[in-house]
């Protein structure tokens, strides 16, 4: 699950804030009995982390590559298309419903305010996201492929493989290009597009319309030149890139045109709700 999906999850789970856990189950070995009877005080997202804050500790959830969750409030699903069969990692039941998590990495944080431990200047969806800081970090990875650097959560927290592919296609950048081959202007365009498309991803997830609006990820034909889309697993992270070898050539990118838009202004009321 990528950052926008986690951001949306934090919104969907707000009905449980202020409630106490009435029953806990699951196959996790992190000591889940600790949740029994505890009151959930806050739910927020940071990058790919979903954090459930209790009074004296917090639960950090990372859904890795294939994890997911589902939740119901008063018998009605509030999470749409996440549900999965199989034995869950964790189930938290409340008087008004339940949260079920599958294939997730769970970690207990001994903190009464876990939000203070996160750097929101790196969170691509945060109002505090700092492009200048991100670009400064990017430039320290000059010999790495831009596809790898976009997935670095200390720089672009929340960017996953779908966002990476879409951003590089929209900026006409080859995923194999080394950072030191990109001009400052091109790096700024990539950073800005990462933020723009992350917000677009979020809105499409709310509408259950993400897949049909992706331009390159999972596609066979380039929407621009109508050529064949290539696929390759590469880089230090070993993730798959979908790219057009014509529109995203592997040479110096300085003459390429970008279609990125100005970064959006984040509404403060949205982030504070988490």
Residue 48 is encoded by which pair of tokens?
């790919």
Residue 252: the pLDDT is 44
For residue 172, the SS3 value is coil
Of 230, 235, 243, the C-alpha closest to 145 is: 235
What tens digit of pLDDT does each residue of 147-162 get? Answer: 999 999 999 999 999 9
Please state the rounded mean pLDDT for residues 62-85: 84
What tens digit of pLDDT does each residue of 26-42 get? Answer: 999 999 999 999 999 99
What tens digit of pLDDT does each residue of 211-236 get? Answer: 999 999 999 999 999 999 999 999 99
User: pTM value?
Assistant: 0.88
The structural domains of the chain, ordered by start, are 3-117 (3.20.190.10), 120-272 (1.10.8.50)
Torsion angle, CA of 166/119/268/101, rounded to 10 degrees?
70
Residue 79: the pLDDT is 84
Residue 263: the pLDDT is 45
Residue 184: the pLDDT is 97
């Amino acid at each position: 699950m990528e950052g926008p999906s986690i951001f949306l999850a934090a919104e969907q789970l707000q009905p449980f804030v202020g409630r106490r856990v009435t029953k806990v189950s699951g196959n996790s070995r992190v000591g889940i009995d600790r949740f029994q009877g505890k009151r959930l005080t806050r739910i927020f997202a940071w990058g790919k982390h979903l954090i459930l804050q209790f009074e004296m500790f917090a639960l950090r959830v990372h859904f890795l590559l294939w994890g997911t969750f589902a939740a119901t409030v008063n018998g009605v699903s509030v999470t749409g298309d996440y549900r999965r069969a199989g034995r869950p990692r964790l189930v938290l039941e409340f008087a008004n419903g339940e949260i079920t998590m599958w294939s997730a990495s769970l970690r207990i944080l001994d903190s009464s305010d876990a939000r203070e431990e996160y750097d929101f200047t790196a969170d691509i969806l945060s109002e505090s996201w700092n492009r200048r800081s991100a670009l400064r970090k990017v430039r320290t990875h000059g010999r790495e492929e831009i596809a790898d650097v976009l997935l670095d959560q200390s720089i672009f927290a929340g960017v996953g493989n779908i966002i990476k592919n879409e951003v590089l296609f929209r900026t006409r950048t080859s995923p194999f290009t080394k950072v030191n081959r990109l001009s400052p202007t091109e790096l700024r365009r990539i950073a800005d597009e990462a933020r723009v498309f992350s917000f677009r991803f979020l809105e499409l997830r709310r509408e259950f319309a993400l897949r049909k609006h992706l331009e390159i990820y999972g596609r066979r034909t380039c929407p621009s030149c109508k050529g064949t889309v290539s696929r390759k697993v590469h880089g230090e992270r070993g993730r798959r890139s979908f790219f057009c070898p014509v529109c995203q050539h592997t040479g110096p990118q300085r003459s390429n045109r970008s279609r990125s838009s100005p970064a959006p202004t984040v509404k403060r009321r949205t982030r504070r709700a988490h």
